[in-house]
Amino acid sequence: MPRPIEDLALIGDLQTAALIGSDGSLDWLCLPRFDSAACFAALLGDEENGHWRIAPKDANACTRRAYRPDSLVLDSEWDTEDGSVRVTDFMPQRDRAPDVVRIVEGLSGRVTVRSTLRLRFDYGSVVPWMRQVDGHRVAVAGPDSIWLRSEPAVHTWGHAYGTHSEFTVEEGEKVAFVLTWHPSHEPRPALVDPYEALEHSLVDWRAWTARCHYEGPHRDTVIRSLITLKALTYAPTGGIVAAPTTSLPEEIGGVRNWDYRYCWLRDSTLTLNALVAAGFLEEAEAWRDWLLRAVAGNADDLQIVYGLAGERRLPEYEVDWLPGYEGSRPVHVGNGAVDQLQLDVYGEVADSLYLARKAGLHSRPHAWNLQLSLLQFLRENWRAPDKGLWEMRGPDRHFVHSKVMAWVAADRAVRTLEEQPDLRGDIECWRELRDEIHREVCERGYDAERNTFTQYYGSTELDASLLLIPRTGFLPPDDPRVIGTVDAVRAELDHHGLMLRYTSAGNTVDGLPGEEGTFLVCSFWLADALHMTGRTKEARELFERLVGLCNDVGLLAEEYDPVSDRQLGNYPQAFSHIGLVNTALALYGADARD
């Protein structure tokens, strides 16, 4: 049976990440980067598409598992008739080559453990040539080479295009496996000591989490979300991927399957806010600097999504040899939304740069000039229809959220010039633009009869992004139009107490067949909006429910199906964890008010 998405736990080295099930099977890993081809792709197919399982012989799911406190080191334990055993999984922050370390430790009795490794490069399509070199197993295919060793050496053999090991451990005995990738044309990298690497990983993670400012309820859950965001960071550049996976479906068996292993500008403001408020200024600055490098250039060429280092070309194609998660096809690599016009990203970039200045991040002299360039483009193009926040694949529309974020871009320019009058810029020009956009949105994007803003001009549909209106400052939280919008969105997009991002059933706006689950970050936005409009008790009740949706190791996917009680979409999802952190800070942080 396919494993539920929430059965997976995450390990990573700040350049890529692996997903491991409760049965001890590593079913997803792309090497050497998040966006590289997977060498373990069983998640989107079966074991023949690549996996690595370590567990007691003939055992199924582990008895219990947990991350070691304040770290990304995972312990899974099995209690068997013969005794108990622990497998500790982690990826050391790399020097040059990526390593996966899996340490088997006997806890009691005498337990027989089996390791089954099936390497399949290029998303499960290429079976490598395997040989033995100096006691190591070496797999080579094209540009990829992987070395596998155990300390101490254990009985290992090849069979059916897999590498198998079997051994016993008694209380206190340990066997460490280390899997190392490197380009096949280069010599083997230096060996890591698995036990030293474990200690260094624990020290590094705990030193990092000690910087967190949050001391409110569910602190462990907030810390886990922050660790997850850190794990989704590509350390060489500071970029943060939306998720480490591709094509985990928004509808089981459907076609809403996208590649999220890239960096979206739409996440920038919310990410910066979470990192700054939680005390992680270094990470916030790295993300801001990635943002500046990515968007540099002609404002006409601004994209909504970029590669890990700011790459612009992310061509979308189908991996037709993989059947997809629970038959959800197609499996995509790349993301065609890269070419869409989404006007809201101009506001998100402007808001991010404004927030960075307010937070006291080290200034970048070119940042203001870049912002002025983006504003000039927006001044000439804000009236155009676009694809909107949700990357619609239907016709372009005048989405209200896009217009509101265009207003944000002008508003942040005005605020910046008011606070720093030594900067060059025509403040009156930006005031006029801000006022013009505001008037139009209130006239064309607001339904006076229903007392709510709508998804796009002339629409009767609603959109969860409207919940962000008070957060942006477009209107104050006590404005009757804001309260009416929050109430309308809450009523019409409710699905068993959680929020849809928009109505997909019978709605041709997104241009796709089928439906999807509730979008988790939208439910966090509702909690924020309820809090801002004076309904803090209801906001906290909703937050409690959302925290309860985290899996046993504190992770959230993009969506949730409250009917089947399972997570959906790419996983773990940065947007969901950003929402959790920001809502916790709003409800219980140092500046929170009842």
Band (95; pLDDT cuts 50, 70, 90)? confident
In this structure, the dihedral spanned by the alpha carbons of residues 553, 225, 405 and 522, taken in order and rounded to 10 degrees, is 30
CATH 2.70.98.40 in the chain, residues? 5-207
CATH 1.50.10.10 in the chain, residues? 211-588
Separation of alpha carbons 588 and 69, rounded Å: 22
Burial 178-215 (b: 16+ CB within 10 A, else e): bbbbbeeeeeebeebebeebbeebbeebeebbeebebe
Please say if the pLDDT value at position 593 is more than 70: no
Are 247 and 27 spatial neighbours (Cβ–Cβ below 8 Å)? Answer: no
pLDDT value of residue 306: 95
pLDDT value of residue 537: 98
Average pLDDT over residues 566-578: 97
Are 352 and 276 spatial neighbours (Cβ–Cβ below 8 Å)? Answer: no
pLDDT, tens digit (0-9, with 9 covering 90-100), for 424-461: 999 999 999 999 999 999 999 999 999 999 999 999 99
Share of the chain above pLDDT 70, in %: 99
pTM: 0.96
pLDDT value of residue 505: 55
The CATH code that applies to domain 211-588 is: 1.50.10.10
Average pLDDT over residues 511-517: 82
Band (37; pLDDT cuts 50, 70, 90)? very high
Residue 340, phi then psi, degrees to nearest 5: -75, 150
User: Among residues 558, 562, 557, which one has the least CA distance to residue 542?
Assistant: 562
pLDDT value of residue 594: 58
pLDDT, tens digit (0-9, with 9 covering 90-100), for 375-408: 999 999 999 999 999 988 789 999 999 999 999 9
Please say if the pLDDT value at position 513 is more than 90: no
Band (96; pLDDT cuts 50, 70, 90)? confident
Average pLDDT over residues 529-544: 98
CATH class of 5-207: mainly beta
Separation of alpha carbons 403 and 254, rounded Å: 31
Average pLDDT over residues 466-490: 98
Band (591; pLDDT cuts 50, 70, 90)? confident
Q: How many CB atoms lie within 10 A of CB 63?
A: 13
User: Among residues 205, 222, 199, which one has the least CA distance to residue 70?
Assistant: 205
pLDDT value of residue 298: 87
pLDDT, tens digit (0-9, with 9 covering 90-100), for 324-371: 999 999 999 999 888 899 999 999 999 999 999 999 999 888 899 999
* Lowest pLDDT segment from 109-123, 288-302, 404-418, 515-529: 288-302
CA distances from 186 to 80, 139, 145, 183, 189 (A): 43, 14, 9, 6, 8
H/E stretch holding 470: helix 469-472
